[in-house]
Structures are given as C-alpha cells and as structure tokens.
C-alpha cells in the first residue's frame, strides 16, 4: 500500500503554542489593529477575534476591509526574536516522525519565517519534507489560508497525489471538516494546549462528525498508520 502524505499543522499540533506563542500573537495583533485603525485596545481585540471567526484568519479581514500590507501584518503579528527560548527541542516528536511512513509536509497559516524557526528549534527539520506557510497560500492574488477548501484542493493537486492518500493532522475541527470535504483524511489532535483566542471546546472524532481519527499528540501518529491505510 502506498504510504500516506501527511499534512501537519504546526501550532498546537506539533508543539504547544498555548502558553507563550498564542498570547503574544494575540497581543501583537491587537496592538497592530489598535495602532493602524486608531481603535481602543478592547475594540481592537474584539475586531481581531471577529475576523478570525469570520474568515479563519485575522489577516483576511484586515486585507479585505482595511487594505493592509499582508507582509507587514504577518511580520508585526509574529514578534519572536527569542523563539529559541520558547520552543524546546522535542526528541519524542522527532522519533515519532522518523517512524512515520510517507512524506511529511507542514501546512500552517503562520508566516514562513516563524514556521521554519519552530521546525528548526523543535529539532525535526530532517523529518520534514516540505513547509507550506501562509505566504504560499495565495492564488490569483488572493490569500486562501486554512480552512479554504479551494486552497486544500489546489495543494493536493500540486502534490500530484490522490486526496485519499493525504492526511491532514490538526487541532482545528473547522480545518479538518474542510479537508474532509476535499476527500482528504483527517486526524484531530486533542491533547496539546488550548485553541487560540480562548476557545476551549474540542469536538471528538466519530460518525457524522467529519473527523476520521483522533490522538492525544503527534507522538501517537505511528500507531494509527494501519487505520489510515
């Protein structure tokens, strides 16, 4: 049987972003919105969350409604000169990915500079076959990050594989539902951190929920390979 192609989310999937990363991203985004749009802090925070819920990424709302420079926004929203102090090398994750058959591609709504830094400091660079960051999720001049079904379909086509060979591994049920609609198989990560913007509810995999399997962490992926195949 042909090995799967693993599409691996990054934050709260390959590492815990809840303690340090998400609070700082949220703070930086709120500051950027307040400064750029002349809003009070509370109003800027509420707008940040509104755009995230409506579009799947605050960036899309800022582009659509305010015409911001996306590269400036991404740079300002990910202020991590000390990333090496925040992300710890994960030998268990490295070993799990080494035992996982098939290609392994990180697919993240984060910018490339941040994502590549996290992969490097986790110590998993040798196990990762590719990285698709939000800058690469642009088609016909439009950003289409997860959970865009169009982007996921284009990504699978770019990989030149059947959707059924691809497995999206995520902590976001919304992103997994979009993948399932594209006939990509889905694995929900349930045990790492909290979801961003204070959302704590985590649906489970099961019949009718459009999520195929669930595991506590990416460490557990090798033990479910037989279920994916």
Closest CA relative to residue 16, chosen from 157, 221, 171, 120: 171
Going by the DSSP 8-state scheme, the letter that residue 57 receives in this structure is: S
Report pLDDT for 209: 58
Low-confidence ranges of the chain (pLDDT < 70): 1, 193-209
Report pLDDT for 27: 97
Phi, psi (deg, nearest 5) at residue 90: -120, 95
Report pLDDT for 195: 47
* Structural domains of the chain in order of their starting residue, each with its CATH number: 5-16+84-228 (3.40.50.1000), 21-77 (1.10.150.450)
Cα 54 from Cα 161, distance rounded (Å): 31
Report pLDDT for 167: 97
Strand partners, 184: none
This model's pTM is above 0.85? yes
- Residue 20 tokens, joined: 């340090």
Q: For the chain, how big is the Rg over CA atoms in Å? A: 17
* Cβ atoms < 10 Å from Cβ of 56: 20
Cα 170 from Cα 174, distance rounded (Å): 9
Report pLDDT for 198: 43
Per-residue DSSP letters for 149-167?
HHHHHHHHHHHTS-GGGEE
Report pLDDT for 193: 64
Report pLDDT for 114: 97
């Amino acid at each position: 049987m042909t090995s799967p192609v693993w599409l691996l989310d990054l934050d709260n999937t390959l590492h815990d972003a809840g303690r340090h990363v998400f609070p700082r991203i949220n703070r930086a985004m709120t500051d950027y919105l307040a400064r750029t749009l002349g809003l009070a802090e509370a109003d800027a925070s509420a707008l940040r969350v509104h755009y995230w819920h409506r579009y799947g990424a605050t960036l899309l709302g800022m582009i659509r409604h305010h015409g911001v420079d996306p590269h400036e926004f991404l740079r300002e929203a990910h202020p991590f000169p000390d990333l090496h102090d925040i992300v710890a090398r994960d030998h268990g994750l490295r070993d799990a990915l080494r035992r996982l058959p098939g290609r392994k591609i990180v697919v993240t709504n984060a910018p490339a500079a941040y994502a590549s830094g996290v992969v490097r400091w986790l110590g998993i660079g040798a196990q990762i076959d590719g990285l698709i960051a939000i800058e690469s999720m642009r088609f016909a001049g439009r950003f289409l990050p997860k959970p865009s079904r169009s982007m996921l379909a284009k990504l699978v086509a770019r990989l030149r594989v059947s959707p059924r060979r691809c497995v999206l591994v995520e902590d976001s049920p919304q992103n997994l539902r979009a993948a399932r609609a594209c006939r990509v198989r889905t694995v929900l990560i349930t045990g790492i951190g909290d979801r961003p913007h204070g959302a704590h509810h985590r649906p489970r995999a099961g019949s009718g929920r459009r999520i195929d399997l669930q595991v506590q962490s990416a460490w557990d992926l090798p033990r479910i390979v037989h279920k994916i195949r």
